[in-house]
Structure 1
């Protein structure tokens, strides 16, 4: 046999690669005909027809309308992404809540749930138990919708070893060296889908880059607006992780006043002046219901927004101060990364219209060359779901990389797989 002869393994690898290429084309560019895909990818028409047929058989694509572009030539049938049979589950564990979001391959939200949870006040085992219960409910909801989870990705406000799914340090939880992925897999009975763990700001940045207001923007910085403040940085279309995957902990830049103790054990961290805790301290007394971590965070922020809209001076003063301090820290990020967009997420997005002018003014006075910088500050449209949505996107990446992980669809009228309970 010649050295250049293709082995069956080589052929299978090439076909998986081509299936991925075609599926991504439909996911990224929308409906198109087989002939157009052949032109765009350089694959021959027979190969594209075979690949599309397999992706249709796996329930990832579906045949649409006939496209007629004039009277000359044969009409082509439009193929479009389906993706209802497979979904990604994004989970976020944050200081005062846990949330789940199920997104199918077509980008449709299948279900979502958020529970108030005072994470720092609970033992890690109790938090992991609650998280595993939430995952189990999400998986059941996916199955009821006729969708099979491709994976689960857990977002945490922490330094994370992504390769092992280990939380290295979560200052606002008080956790160190917690094998989150392993612990959840054990609680869920070693499920067939992979469980990953990643930083919440990184996943939020990915969500914005793929499906949010920053979709398609190649250089952006996403700032979380939670008790902690983190940054996810997209540079030239790629997420920056740093040499050890620990980048983005901007909340601990020494830009604070130095009076409040940070969760990391230091004073003077930026998040002690712009994090949610800082806003609540400035805007409300300790007994005020908006400072009750047992209440849903969006309910509390809705109340603060109502007060701001009614002209409550203490609330407005607090928000203006947040804007000024936010601009100070953001200027460091603009000078470092020169992004096209700074995306404000979490509570920043929910209340940002009250402090955006103050932030922009503070930012422009501190960046190196305001006239040359093209950076725009915008509010996230994904709200508190950004990290979970990014997690669902990461979970679905395995399907996009290898569509053969999705089994062929059960023919209509046949008995459903016992896994879809």
Structure 2
């Protein structure tokens, strides 16, 4: 039997395997430099098990693609001519994260090294707008971020949307977002149309998942933690779980909806329609109801969330009794739910994000006390509580990182022409 075109049997398989192998090796080298910092070619070869000639060729290609660059001489080499270090570049390669939350929209563009290229957050009462109007406004912010990338002659690796609800990533559909009042919204299809059917990839994910990835990435730079739970609070409450270094999504991708744990059966009705969900006692709305009157300006959703929290912080620091009582009550409820999560998941670290981090000085102590008292394992199962320093940028940073991660998986997504080299 003769193959069409007279090709030898197996020749296409061999070619495909060669391309796949090279793509994999490019990824190995690029991720190695990202994780361990500047390295000489010889050190990369020794660490990865690739031979020196292969590493030299791979590094040359990654430099051509604008993903690595030549650094300083290797001062650690004792004998012979010092080797040249190579380091992560990617200043012209960017990822964008865009977030829809109850009372704001946010968009951030990061380059491959994690530096901020563009950042914008707009206070807007999303819960009282229809999805179409909200997506129109978000598309405008994304266009601004893309323009900032274009202005530096960069290449966009992708845009990832963060939404506070149940998401089907493979279909691009938001199944349900109770606090937004949205259901069955084909977010990716609608956004693709608004962005003019762009060539770059679009993804959508749960905002707490993306915030957890960003928090994990930041922590992993300074210590080798593998298991964290992030609690992110605004009007709603979400959770993201990283287990053994990997995001825990569950069987159908719906894990992390910790805000809807039933903790107060006789409590308030939640936005999801059920009674006594955790977020009805620890969400920002719950805190504001306890701490302020209905006509208090701090309840105005058109006011940026950080301004609102700055006012609550000022009142707490001034010792205002109603504010301190509200924070104490919310902190106790935060501890009750937090202890449940620690008992079930036994993370190394419980990370407070969103408004929990901002008001952490008043919320963290009752949370830690509950973990000591309610977690059955000794010493709270070894879990410690930390406050994220990412603030309300965590989800958009996580979204940008998701887009950029595709480049580390397959560096050939970035064309050599962007670095001025023909393919």
TM over 0.5: yes
Task: Determine whether 1:331 maps to 2:336.
Answer: no
1:213, 1:380 within 8 Å by CA — same for their partners in 2? no
| Cα distance in 2 between the residues matched to 1:394 and 1:90 | 8
Quickly say closer, same or farther: Cα 1:141–1:70, change in 2 above 3 A.
closer
1:212, 1:380 within 8 Å by CA — same for their partners in 2? no
Quickly say closer, same or farther: Cα 1:98–1:172, change in 2 above 3 A.
same
The equivalent residue for 1:270 is 278
2:371 to 363, 366, 371: 363
| Cα distance in 1 between the residues matched to 2:267 and 2:22 | 60
Which has the larger displacement, 6-15 or 172-181? 6-15
The equivalent residue for 1:374 is 382
Listed as ranges, the gaps of 5+ residues in structure 1 are 415-421
The equivalent residue for 1:310 is 318
1:345 to 326, 346, 353: 353
- 1:104-154: CA deviation from partner (whole Å, max 9, x where unpaired): 111111110000111110011001101111111110111113322100001
**Which secondary structure does the structure 2 equivalent of 1:266 belong to?**
coil
2:237, 2:279 within 8 Å by CA — same for their partners in 1? yes
2:149, 2:156 within 8 Å by CA — same for their partners in 1? yes
1:95, 1:120 within 8 Å by CA — same for their partners in 2? yes
Q: CA deviation at 1:409?
A: 4.8
Task: Determine whether 1:390 maps to 2:398.
Answer: yes
- 1:320-353: CA deviation from partner (whole Å, max 9, x where unpaired): 1111100000111011110010000000000111
Q: TM-score, normalised by structure 1?
A: 0.95
Q: CA deviation at 1:212?
A: 4.1
**Which secondary structure does the structure 2 equivalent of 1:399 belong to?**
helix
Quickly say closer, same or farther: Cα 1:265–1:6, change in 2 above 3 A.
closer
Q: TM-score, normalised by structure 2?
A: 0.94
1:210, 1:216 within 8 Å by CA — same for their partners in 2? no
2:107, 2:119 within 8 Å by CA — same for their partners in 1? yes
| Cα distance in 1 between the residues matched to 2:380 and 2:150 | 52
| Cα distance in 2 between the residues matched to 1:351 and 1:110 | 28
- 1:302-336: CA deviation from partner (whole Å, max 9, x where unpaired): 11101111111111111111111000001110111
| Cα distance in 2 between the residues matched to 1:161 and 1:344 | 26
| Cα distance in 1 between the residues matched to 2:47 and 2:11 | 28
| Cα distance in 2 between the residues matched to 1:338 and 1:315 | 32
2:111, 2:117 within 8 Å by CA — same for their partners in 1? yes
The equivalent residue for 2:41 is 34
| Cα distance in 2 between the residues matched to 1:197 and 1:410 | 27
Task: Determine whether 1:292 maps to 2:303.
Answer: no
2:110, 2:118 within 8 Å by CA — same for their partners in 1? yes
The equivalent residue for 1:24 is 31
1:56 to 42, 53, 63: 63
How large is the Cα RMSD of the aligned pairs? 1.7
Q: CA deviation at 1:358?
A: 1.5
1:258, 1:269 within 8 Å by CA — same for their partners in 2? no
The equivalent residue for 1:83 is 90
1:132, 1:188 within 8 Å by CA — same for their partners in 2? yes
Quickly say closer, same or farther: Cα 1:350–1:213, change in 2 above 3 A.
farther
1:84, 1:146 within 8 Å by CA — same for their partners in 2? no
The equivalent residue for 2:214 is 207
| Cα distance in 2 between the residues matched to 1:105 and 1:258 | 49
| Cα distance in 1 between the residues matched to 2:251 and 2:43 | 41
Task: Determine whether 1:151 maps to 2:158.
Answer: yes
1:209, 1:216 within 8 Å by CA — same for their partners in 2? no
Q: CA deviation at 1:355?
A: 2.0
Q: How many residues align?
A: 413
Q: CA deviation at 1:398?
A: 1.3
Which protein is richer in helix relative to its size?
Answer: 2
The equivalent residue for 2:3 is none
| Cα distance in 1 between the residues matched to 2:337 and 2:82 | 57
1:194 to 186, 198, 201: 201
1:108 to 109, 115, 125: 115
| Cα distance in 2 between the residues matched to 1:221 and 1:372 | 14
| Cα distance in 2 between the residues matched to 1:217 and 1:316 | 33
**Which secondary structure does the structure 1 equivalent of 2:416 belong to?**
coil
Task: Determine whether 1:301 maps to 2:309.
Answer: yes
The equivalent residue for 1:240 is 248
Listed as ranges, the gaps of 5+ residues in structure 2 are 1-7
1:212, 1:382 within 8 Å by CA — same for their partners in 2? no
